[in-house]
Structure 1
C-alpha cells in the first residue's frame, strides 16, 4: 500500500469512527435530532439542552462589515424568514456595531423567532458582567439564549475564567438572574487548549452547553479540532458549533473547493450548527439553499474532498487563525480581558 493509500485509509477510518460515534449518540442518521421546519431548513438538537436550532447559523461579524446598516437588517431578517434561527454575535465584533445592527433587526417580533447567541471576552467578573450588560443593551433584549466565553486561545485562559471572582462565577449569577439561558465557550487556536478548557469545566462540575470551534476541510488535515475535540464533545453530548467553514474566506483562496463544498463538509460532521458569515443577500440565499438541500455525503464523496484538500492543507497555510495572530482579537486588545480575577 502506498503512502497516499495509507493516508486515505486513515481518513476513511477516522471519518467512520466519528460518524459511528455520532450515530450511537444521536440516532442512525448520525446528526443531532435531524428534522426540518416548514421552510425546509434542516434543524438539529443543541446537545443536552434539547433546543432545536437551524443547521446553518448566521455569523455576526460579517453583519457589521456590510456597508449599509439597512442592508444588514434585511440580511438578518431574510435569514430568519428563510428558516435560520441561530444567530451568532460577539461583544467585540466591529466595536459593538454587529450587535447594534442585530438588535435593530430583531425588533418587530423577530427576537421571538431567533435563538440568540453572543460572546464576551472578559475573564474577571466585573469586566464580564459589564460586557454582558453592553450586549443585552445593544441587542435590545433582556436575555440571551446562549452566551459563550470568547477566544479561549491561551493555556492560561481556563484557569482565569474559573478563578474566584472570575467570569464563570459571574455568568452563573447572570444565569440565575434569567439573563442567560445556556453557557458555552469558543476558540480557534489550538485543540489542546479546547481540551484543557473542557477538563477544567468538568473539574468544576460544569458541562458546557455548547462549544464553538473551526471545523472545515482544511482542519481535518492539520492540528485538527475535528479529530481531537469533536469526539469528546459527542461523548459528553455537548452542542457542537462549527465555525470558519471557509476559514473567513481564506480557504476559498486555495481554489480547490467551492463554498457549497465547504458548508457540506462541515454539515457532514455531528455539528448542531455550522456558523457562516453572510454579507449579501446572494450569500445568505446560498446558505439557505444548502440548509434546505443538504444530504449526507457518501464515504466516497468525503474521501474525495479530503484528498483534494490534503496537498494544500499542510502547515495550516489556509488556517491563519491557528498559525498567526491575525484573528486573535484579545491578543491585539488585551484590555478586553479585564484585570486579574
Structure 2
C-alpha cells in the first residue's frame, strides 16, 4: 500500500509556505510544558529548550510490532504510567501503524502526560507538509512537541532540506502555525553527515533543538558519533537523543555487554534521552530498572567496558546501521524524500 493512501482521513490541507529566507524569519520560542514525574524514573533537561523529559524514551518502531493494536496501546500506557514521558515515532514506521497505535493510546488524557516526537522523511516543503498532516491525523493531535528530519544519512540531505522550497521552510511554517514546537534531525550512518547538517544549519542561521544519533558501547570505537558529533551539539546547546543502545539487537548478540550496563553507559553520557525499543513488558521492566538503579559510571568502569567491546566493535560489524543499508529506509524508498 502506498503511504499516501494510508489512513486517508489524515490527509488535510498542507501548511502554506512563503518564506523568502530562513535567516529573515527567526524562530518563535516554545513555552516549556510541565508534566507529571515518577520517583522511579530519571528526568533531564532537553538541551536548552527548558523542557524536562524522561531519560528513557520509548522507541516508536517497536510499538508497531505487536500483532494486535490493544497490546501496543497497553504497552504505551504501562510505560507512561511508570514515568516515561518521551515518546519516539516516525511517519514511516511500520507503514504508519506505529503512529496510529500511539495516537490511539494517547486518548483519554494521556497526550497531556507526554512529550511527543515523530520524524519526517520529506526533503521538500511539499513532501514534508504531506507527511506532517498524515502524522498529525494518525497521532490524533493538533500539535507535535518535536518533529525531526529523519535519516540524514547522505551528504546532500542538508543541502536539499535547506534549499529554496526545502523541508526546513515547511518546518518553520508549521512551528509558527503551532503544529510543532521544536525541530531536530536524526541519522545513523556517519558522524561526518551529522556535522555537515550542523554546518549547513549554521550557514542559514538556524538552530536545531535536538539531534538524534547512535550512542552505545561500540560507537566509541568506530565512526564515533559520541566523540565527533556530541561535543559539537552540546556546545551549540542542542539536546542529544541517544539511540541504537543495543544495535537492534546485534550489540547484545556480541556477548560483550549486558542490557542494563549498556543502558547505564548511554545514560552516563551527557544526553537528554536514551531512546530504546520496548516491545513487551519484560523489556519495559528492564528499561525502568535501568533508570531506577542508575548511577553514572566512573572513568574506570567506562574504560573497562570499552576495553571489553573494542575488538568486537573495530570494524562496525555489530553496528549494521553504519555498515549496511539494512536500516536505510529512505534509500530503499527514495520517493519518501520528495
Is this a same-fold pair by TM over 0.5? yes
Which residue of the partner structure matches residue 29 of structure 1?
Answer: none
Deviation string, structure 1 residues 84-120 (Cα, Å, up to 9, x no partner): 0000000000000000000001011000001000000
Deviation at 1:37, TM superposition (A): 3.4
Q: Is the 8 A contact 1:39 1:82 kept in 2?
A: no
Superposition pairs for residues 51-62 of structure 1, below 5 Å?
51-62=51-62
State the SS of the aligned residue for 1:47: coil
State the SS of the aligned residue for 1:315: coil
State the SS of the aligned residue for 1:197: helix
Whole-Å Cα distance in 1 between the matches of residues 220 and 87 of structure 2? Answer: 25
Say whether residues 1:73 and 2:73 are aligned partners. yes
Say whether residues 1:134 and 2:119 are aligned partners. no
Whole-Å Cα distance in 2 between the matches of residues 306 and 232 of structure 1? Answer: 22
Deviation at 1:236, TM superposition (A): 0.9
Which residue of the partner structure matches residue 125 of structure 2?
Answer: 125
Whole-Å Cα distance in 2 between the matches of residues 156 and 233 of structure 1? Answer: 20
Deviation at 1:67, TM superposition (A): 2.1
Which residue of the partner structure matches residue 236 of structure 2?
Answer: 236
Q: Is the 8 A contact 1:144 1:179 kept in 2?
A: yes
Superposition pairs for residues 20-59 of structure 1, below 5 Å?
37-59=37-59
Whole-Å Cα distance in 2 between the matches of residues 147 and 125 of structure 1? Answer: 14
Which residue of the partner structure matches residue 255 of structure 1?
Answer: 255
Whole-Å Cα distance in 2 between the matches of residues 283 and 74 of structure 1? Answer: 14
Deviation at 1:38, TM superposition (A): 3.3
4+ runs deviating over 6 angstroms = none
Which residue of the partner structure matches residue 156 of structure 1?
Answer: 156
Deviation at 1:40, TM superposition (A): 2.4
In the superposition, the TM-score normalised over structure 1's length comes to 0.88
State the SS of the aligned residue for 2:321: helix
Whole-Å Cα distance in 2 between the matches of residues 85 and 231 of structure 1? Answer: 25
Whole-Å Cα distance in 2 between the matches of residues 127 and 84 of structure 1? Answer: 31
Which residue of the partner structure matches residue 88 of structure 2?
Answer: 88
In the superposition, the TM-score normalised over structure 2's length comes to 0.89
Stretches of structure 2 lacking an aligned partner (at least 5 in a row): 1-35
Q: Which has the higher helix share?
A: 1
RMSD: 0.9
Whole-Å Cα distance in 1 between the matches of residues 125 and 151 of structure 2? Answer: 16
Whole-Å Cα distance in 1 between the matches of residues 190 and 298 of structure 2? Answer: 29
Q: Which stretch shifts more, 90-99 or 256-265?
A: 256-265
Which residue of the partner structure matches residue 8 of structure 2?
Answer: none
Whole-Å Cα distance in 1 between the matches of residues 38 and 58 of structure 2? Answer: 19
